[in-house]
Amino acid sequence: MSVAAGSPPRRIVVVGASLCGLSAAQALREEGFSGEIVLVGDEPERPYDRPPLSKQVLRGRCGPDTTLPCRPDLDLRFRLGTAAAGLDPRARRVVLADGGTIAYDRVLIATGTRARPWPGDPGSGPLHTLRTRRDAERLGARLADRPRRVVVVGGGFIGCEAAASIRAMGLDVTQVVRETVPLVQALGDAVGAMVAEVARGAGVDLLTDRGIDGIEAAGGETAVVRLDEGRRIETGCVLVALGAVRNVEWLAGAGLAVSDAGVRVDAECRALTPDGRVVPDVFAAGDVAQWPSAVYGGARLAVEHWGNAVAQGRVAARNMAAAGGPLARHDHLPDFWSHLYGLTVKLVGVPDGADRFAVVQGTLRERRFVGIYGAGERTVAAVSVDSARWLPAYRAAIAEGAPFPPFTGALDQPGFAPHPLATA
Amino acid sequence: MSPTLFAQVLDPAHRADPYPLYEALRRSPVSRQDDGTWVVSSHAAIARLLHDPRISSEDLPDPPLFRWTGHPIQDLLVRPIRSRIVARHRPFIFRDPPDHDLLRRHVMREFSPGRVRRMRRETEAITGALLDRLEGRAAFDLVEDVSYPLPVTVICDLLGVPREDEPRFQGWATQLATALEPNQRTDAANAARNEAAFTAISDYLRGLIRERRASPRDDMLSGLAAGRDGERMNDYDLVATAVLLLVAGHETTVNLITNGILTLLRFPEHAERLRREPEIAPRLIEELLRYEPPVHYRTRLALADIGLGDATIPEGAPVVLLLAAGNRDPARFRDPDRFDPDREDNRHLGFGGGLHYCVGAPLARIEAEVALTAIVRRLPRLRLLDDPPPYRPGASLRGPRRLRLAVEAPVGAAR
Ligand SMILES: Cc1cc2nc3c(=O)[nH]c(=O)nc-3n(C[C@H](O)[C@H](O)[C@H](O)COP(=O)(O)OP(=O)(O)OC[C@H]3O[C@@H](n4cnc5c(N)ncnc54)[C@H](O)[C@@H]3O)c2cc1C
Ligand code: HEM
């Protein structure tokens, strides 16, 4: 069991003022930490929530202000609009892009991810990404002009949610997906195929198995998207949704184990050196962290999930506030939700590496079901579409390392028929 | 642990105060009884099973296929076919997804906010009229004079059953409620009475449904009969659903009102408070649903082995979810045996939980709120004539058979 270092910290610095950073700051106060808390963030806004940006905000159901609730009595110091440019664990300080430094007793790295840009995208004109409030405002303003056609590039969750929301506004949408079906990496071919059918049913021009040779600016807000099979789509708005890049560049030279998969931490959320030693007083959590999961036999997980950002931020906070005594472990079973075309999709567990899939309640055809993912002998994840009420039983089974299937004979079960799973 | 604990719960001798037995049962919260039934009594385990896909509500035994009448067409053709139809078109409280969800959705749509608001006004009028009839009485039986007639009238109004047919409905409701009482299901004579009542009420409802289809009104039966968005229940399911609404909405509400007054008279400071601050009624009723719930347990069937803590409920086992024991679980509620309307975070199991969560909950809350506030206001000085009162035999739908009250100050004028 790991034990906290002896002396109580006086100043805790959180780099990245978003969901994870704010959750950690709140938890620090709940833990009774009465010292100084400084949140450094490169965005100008107070911490806000991102999931609505591709859902309610995009559809105009609510404004772009999704500021996260924050109790005023938490006594937090915000350094907003300021990026951190370096970390010096030996001197215990964060170096800021404006040249300043902030000394810390403990630091939390919560710099999350950013949208992967289209090569050469200047961040203006017809090309858009969707990660920040400013992205949402710029995209929203463009869509308000009702461009003749919107092209969404990418078949991940943000691409699919955005395509659904933009289509729901009555705009023509073409979604170009390199894989055979959307969401195939996240949820596999069977669920992906169902989503494809729903998207087409909603009138989205979904092009799968299709690459893009180039996107050419055609003056003003117009662009031409060139597909690999030669087709050209003229469009007034391109949303590039090619996944996320972890914000770790500022950590170069800090001596931490850092890669494309994020900052490596241990189960106690402490940052590690490349040879696996704990870096004193440096913690990381949220989208930027990669942690060993006890549920999956110590496999290293890196997820981009709201629930993990909150849970891991809270564990990091407990351990940062601790002065002596046992440390808390992040034993979180990841989960995720999405809203697509009026369907609620929920996932518990991590289907990476799964080779089998079976619908165990309901049916794909009715678009109301629970499906499970098997890897070897184990059930590693479960997905539900409009059936989330059943997930707790599967969550408990997955956490306990249940076999595949964890049980048979459940309500509304069409009979157990596993299929090989393709995720590409 | 004594394996006979649940048998003691069923024993009418313990009806007035089953709570010490529940406490004993909670010591091993998932426990097998001698007859192979599994009784679940902690809040956490009940809540888990209410949401577990391996738990079925289709635990109703098939209706007795037929009794010999000596008439071959009746015995070999008509009755078996009818039994099969009845078995297939059970009320959705005894059905599993997907059928359950489809049927329930129809009913949920009919519980629109507008209709619920109208039901509050109706309930106020009905309650007022019932209390008017007590004027000048020195003593009365709350069950017979208020708790019993109120919910039948409300349900009849909701469904659209004409007032003049209500007495018949009341008789059927009383009889059919025994079908919801697990320990009365096995009684053959009672089963025969249920069947007769079901035949009578079905015939009646089928007639009414025909009328409402021909000329719809603004009532639930018309709405259900017409369906929505091109979806419509068939007539068998419609009859079963109407009967379910009648039965599930009746005996339960009777108990809530009666238990409510009983509890308020046992703790008069709360009666006094309700009289002065009627706005506490909603919280007080939630606490009643925890402290003296009308439904003490529901039964289920395990569809697969279910591991819960150290115990494993085996596939095929009958399961009793002892909601009223979960409601008094000290692991979930601080000071659980205290009646405390100011309780925070009161997540009681009074209306069940999960997919069979009571659809009538909004209406039940209104009925209790209206009745209890009106009674304490208009009958400020009541005295219990017997405490404990005599109870009806049911251990699941548990409540007083009679609640005799002395009126120590006259009934105030209406309103
Ligand atoms: C459009 C959209 C929809 C989503 N929908 C869902 C959903 O439905 N369900 C779900 O589970 N998850 C969803 N997510 C993911 C979820 O929002 C993230 O998991 C969550 O925001 C992660 O929080 P975080 O604080 O770890 O990282 P982030 O929210 O990425 O925050 C990191 C912060 O650090 C800042 N930062 C970066 N580098 C620096 C630096 N050097 N110095 C200072 N500050 C820096 C960033 O600008 C940012 O403000 C969605 C995300 C997006 C973008
Ligand atoms: C105080 C009053 C009431 C109480 C305590 C109560 C309690 C309950 C409980 C515990 C259940 C769950 C059954 C199970 O899980 O097996 C239930 C279901 C149900 N109740 Fe109520 N009820 C009340 C009033 C009403 C009323 C007024 C109505 C109708 C108008 C009603 C209609 C139903 C129906 C239809 C179901 C079945 C729901 C389903 O299976 O999906 N109830 N009730």
Instruction: Pick the closest to residue B361 from B18, B119, B171, B91 (CA basis).
Output: B119
Per-residue confidence (pLDDT) for residue B228, from 0 to 100? 86
Cβ–Cβ below 8 Å for B96 and A366: no
Tokens of A53: 């940006």
Element (DSSP H or E) covering residue A102: strand A101-103
What's the CATH code of the domain at B132?
1.10.630.10
Helix and strand totals (H; E) in chain A = 8, 29
Report how many domains make up chain B. 1
**Helix (H, G, I), strand (E, B), or coil: what is residue B102?**
helix
pLDDT at position B184, please? Answer: 67
Does residue B379 sit within a domain?
yes
B272 touches chain A (CB under 8 A): no
Q: Is B90 exposed, middle or buried (0-12, 13-18, 19+ CB in 10 A)?
A: buried
- Across B215-233, average pLDDT: 92
- Helix (H/G/I), strand (E/B), else coil: A36: strand
Checking if the pLDDT of A205 tops 80, the result is yes
Gyration radius from chain A CA atoms? 22
Judge whether B53 is closer than 8 Å to chain A, CB to CB. yes
> Which of B163, B100, B362 has the alpha carbon at shortest distance from A411?
B100
Arithmetic mean of pLDDT, A313-336: 94
Give B309's pLDDT tier (boundaries 50, 70, 90): confident
Question: With contacts defined as CB-CB under 8 Å, which chain B residues touch A364?
Answer: none
Structure tokens at A355: 């080779």
The separation between the first and the last C-alpha atoms of chain B, rounded to the nearest angstrom, is 53
Q: Does residue B199 sit within a domain?
A: yes
ipTM: 0.79
Facing residue for A408 by CB, picked from B56, B304, B306:
B304
Query: Are the C-beta atoms of A350 and A304 separated by less than 8 Å?
Result: no
pLDDT of amino acid B68: 62
Separation of alpha carbons A105 and A13, rounded Å: 8
Taking a C-beta distance cutoff of 8 angstroms, is the pair A346, A335 a contact?
Answer: yes
pLDDT number for residue A61:
87
Nearest to A313 by CA among A40, A21, A77: A21
Q: How far apart are CA A88 and CA A288, in angstroms?
A: 18
Phi, psi of B238 (to 5 degrees): -65, -45
Distance of CA A191 to the CA centre of its chain: 19
**Higher local confidence (pLDDT), B60 or B37:** B37
Tell whether ligand 1 has an atom less than 6 A from the beta carbon of residue A281: no
Residue B74 near chain A (CB below 8 Å): no
Q: Which protein residue's CA is at the shortest distance from atom 32 of ligand 2?
A: B360
Q: Which two tokens stand for residue B415?
A: 């309103």
Angle at CA A28, nearest 5°, toward A25 and A33? 130
Least confident among A337-351, B186-200, B340-354: B186-200
Using DSSP, state whether B92 is helix, strand or coil.
helix
Mean pLDDT, chain B, rounded, equals: 91
Q: Does B9 touch chain A (CB under 8 A)?
A: no
Bigger pLDDT: B63 vs A339: A339
Cβ of residue A137 lying under 6 Å from some atom of ligand 1:
no
Question: Which stretch of DSSP H or E encloses residue B98?
Answer: none
B191 Rama sector, left if φ>0, alpha if ψ -120 to 50, beta otherwise: alpha
Distance between CA atoms of residues A88 and A93, nearest Å: 5
Does residue A181 line the site of ligand 1, with CB under 6 A?
A: no
Residues of chain B contacting residue A366, judged by C-beta atoms under 8 Å apart: 98
Closest Cα in chain A to B307: A397
Residue B87: its pLDDT value, please?
Answer: 73
Res B1: pLDDT: 47
Q: Is B304's CB within 8 Å of A370's CB? A: no
Better pLDDT: A110 or A72: A110
> Which superfamily, per CATH, for A11-114+245-321?
FAD/NAD(P)-binding domain (3.50.50.60)
Q: Shortest CA distance to A352 belongs to which of A301, A397, A297? A: A301
Q: DSSP label at A2?
A: -
Q: Which residues in chain B touch residue A412, judged by CB atoms under 8 angstroms apart?
A: 53, 96-98
Q: Stretch B52-78: mean pLDDT, rounded?
A: 74
Tokens found for residue B105: 């959705």
| Domain boundaries of chain A, sorted by first residue | 11-114+245-321, 117-242, 342-420
Of A26-30, A162-166, B180-184, B314-318, least confident by mean pLDDT is B180-184
Interface of A with B in 149-208 (CB under 8 A): none
Contact B52/A409, CB-based, under 8 Å? no
**CA B111 to ligand 2 centroid distance, Å:** 13
Q: Does B346 touch chain A (CB under 8 A)?
A: no
Q: What is the pLDDT of residues B92-143, one digit of tens each?
A: 999 999 999 999 999 999 999 999 999 999 999 999 999 999 999 999 999 9
- pLDDT of B74: 73
Q: How many angstroms separate the alpha carbon of residue A14 from the centre of ligand 1? A: 14
Q: What distance in Å separates the CA atoms of residue A322 and residue A309, rounded to the nearest whole number?
A: 20
> In angstroms, rounded to a whole number, what is the distance separating the alpha carbons of residues A112 and A115?
10
B/e letters for B301-330, b = 16+ CB within 10 Å, e = fewer, are bbbbebebeebebeeebbbbbbbbbbbbbe
Task: Give, in order, the Cα–Cα distances in Å from B309 to each of A81, A280, B314.
Answer: 50, 39, 14
Cross-chain residue pair A389–B51, CB shorter than 8 Å: yes
Asked, for residue B217, whether it belongs to a domain, the answer is yes
Q: In this model, does residue B371 exceed pLDDT 80? A: yes
Number of the ligand closest to the Cα of B247: 2
The DSSP bridge partners found for residue A175 are: A152, A206
Ligand nearest to the CA of A38: 1
Asked whether the beta carbons of residue B54 and residue A393 sit closer than 8 angstroms, the reply is yes
Verify whether ligand 2 is closer than 6 Å to residue B295 (CB atom): yes
Q: Judge: B305–A370 Cβ closer than 8 Å, yes or no.
A: no
pLDDT at B66 (0 to 100): 45
Q: Each residue of A170-186: pLDDT tens digit?
A: 999 999 999 999 999 99
Distance of CA B118 to the CA centre of its chain: 22
**Which DSSP string corresponds to B309-325?**
TTEEEPTT-EEEE-HHH
Please state, for a pLDDT cut of 70, what percent of chain B lies above it.
94
Give CA–CA dist B356/B99, Å, rounded: 12
Among B56, B304, B354, the residue with its CB nearest the CB of A389 is B354
Instruction: Give the mutation target among B358, B370, B372, B398 for probing the ligand 2 site: most ligand atoms within 8 A of CB.
Output: B358
Report how far residue A185's alpha carbon sits from residue A182's, in angstroms, rounded to the nearest whole number: 8
Contact predicate A97/A85, CB 8 Å: yes
Residues of B in contact with A390 (CB under 8 A): 51, 53
One-letter amino acid at A99 equals G
CATH code assigned to A342-420:
3.30.390.30
pLDDT the model gives residue B179: 74
Task: Kindly state whether residue B399 falls inside one of the protein's structural domains.
Answer: yes
Q: B140-164, pLDDT tens digit by residue?
A: 999 999 999 999 999 999 999 998 8
Give the ligand whose atoms come closest to the C-alpha of residue B123. 2
From the number of C-beta atoms within 10 Å of its C-beta (0-12, 13-18, 19+), residue B121 rates as: exposed
Residue B358 lies in a domain: yes
Q: Does B410 or B405 have the greater pLDDT score?
A: B405
* CA A115/CA A127 separation, integer angstroms: 12
| Ligand 2 contact via B93 beta carbon (within 6 Å) | yes
The ligand 1 atom at the shortest distance from the C-alpha of residue A84 is 42
Radius of gyration over every alpha carbon of chain B, rounded to an integer in angstroms: 22
Distance from B354 to chain A by nearest Cα, in Å? 8
Find out if CATH 3.50.50.60 is the number for domain A117-242: yes
CA of B181 to the centre of ligand 2 (A): 13
pLDDT band at residue A357 under the 50/70/90 scheme? very high
pLDDT tens track for A44-75: 999 999 999 999 999 888 889 999 999 989 99
Residues 361 through 380 of chain B touching chain A, CB cutoff 8 Å: none
The domain containing residue B174 runs over which residues? 5-407
Residue B70 clears pLDDT 80, i.e. is over it:
no
- State the pTM of this model: 0.88
Q: Under an 8 A CB cutoff, do B98 and A407 touch?
A: no
A366:B98 CB<8 A:
yes
For residue B98, is the peptide bond before it cis, meaning its omega torsion is within 30 degrees of 0?
Answer: yes
Q: How far is the CA of B246 from the centre of ligand 2 (A)?
A: 10
Residue located nearest, by CA, to atom 9 of ligand 1: A337
Cβ of B53 and A392 within 8 Å?
no
Residue B44 near chain A (CB below 8 Å): no
Q: Where are the alpha helices (DSSP H) in A120-225?
A: 133-144, 157-168, 184-187, 189-201
CB nearest to B304's CB, from A368, A392, A410: A410
Q: Do domains A11-114+245-321 and A117-242 have the same CATH topology?
A: yes
How far is it, in rounded angstroms, from Cα B118 to Cα B154?
Answer: 11
Mean residue pLDDT across chain A:
95
Q: Which residues of A300-316 are buried (b: 16+ CB within 10 A; e: fewer)?
A: ebbbbbbbbbbbbbbbb
Nearest CA to ligand 1 atom 1: A54
Q: What are the phi and psi torsion angles at A361 (to 5°)?
A: -150, 145
DSSP labels for A260-286?
A: TTEEEB-TT-EEE-TTSPEEEEEEE-G
